[in-house]
Amino acid sequence: MARRRPSSDKVAPKMSKLPSGRERRKIRNMVQDSRVQYRYALYFFGFAIAAAVVNQMLMVRAFRSILIQTLVGTNIDPAALQAAVGAPLQALALRMTVMYPIFGMICAAFAIWVTHKFVGPQVALKRFIGKLESGDYSGECRLRGGDELQPVAAALNELARALESQQAEEKRAA
């Protein structure tokens, strides 16, 4: 018996694994003022790496003091103890050495996300002020709800309306 192909209306459409246009814009728009955002990302990355190095040094110091305290007053051969404990500790140190840069990159990505929250409104305000400078008083500056710079945007919108009405009155008078 021959197998029948399902009709085209019953076949589920294949979903694309690529991000949609909106998702790509969302990712691309995350960096709006690269100078500021990358600088903070570098600060976060550097702090994460410095903290990791200090942590590694403290762990080595603690391990050495534990070894010394363990060996004092015992008949344990230090070479045997090092052979038994050394390999797992070296593996742990290697894992941590690999994880620190990854942690630093995560911190840098977090810094870009955080700075986007205060750089994004600044970019929108700068664009709107540029429109006002060029004499275009139409439109208004819209920011995300609950944004800290919302009062500044509202004041700029009032200024734009006042300038637009003043410009209209001057045209009527002329």
pLDDT single digits (tens) 86-127: 777 778 778 887 888 888 888 888 888 888 877 888 888 999
Round to the nearest angstrom and report the end-to-end CA distance of the chain. 89
Instruction: Please give the pLDDT value at position 160.
Output: 92
Tokens of 96: 């941590």
Burial class (CB in 10 A: 0-12, 13-18, 19+), 72: exposed
By the 8 A CB rule, do 104 and 45 touch?
yes
Tokens 């800290």 sit on residue: 148
CA gap 62, 153 in Å, rounded: 55
Most confident of the following: 27-41, 107-121, 145-159: 145-159
Pair of tokens at residue 98: 């690999």
Mean pLDDT of the chain: 79
Identity of the amino acid at 47? F
Could you tell me the pLDDT band of residue 131, with boundaries at 50, 70 and 90?
A: very high
| One-letter-per-residue 3-state SS of the chain | CCCCCCCHHHCCCCCCCCCCHHHHHHHHCCCCCHHHHHHHHHHHHHHHHHHHHHHHHHHHHHHHHHHHHHHCCCCCCHHHHHHHHHHHHHHHHHHHHHHHHHHHHHHHHHHHHHHHHHHHHHHHHHHHHHHHHCCCCCCCCCCCCCCCCHHHHHHHHHHHHHHHHHHHHHHHHC
Residue 12 has pLDDT above 70, yes or no: no
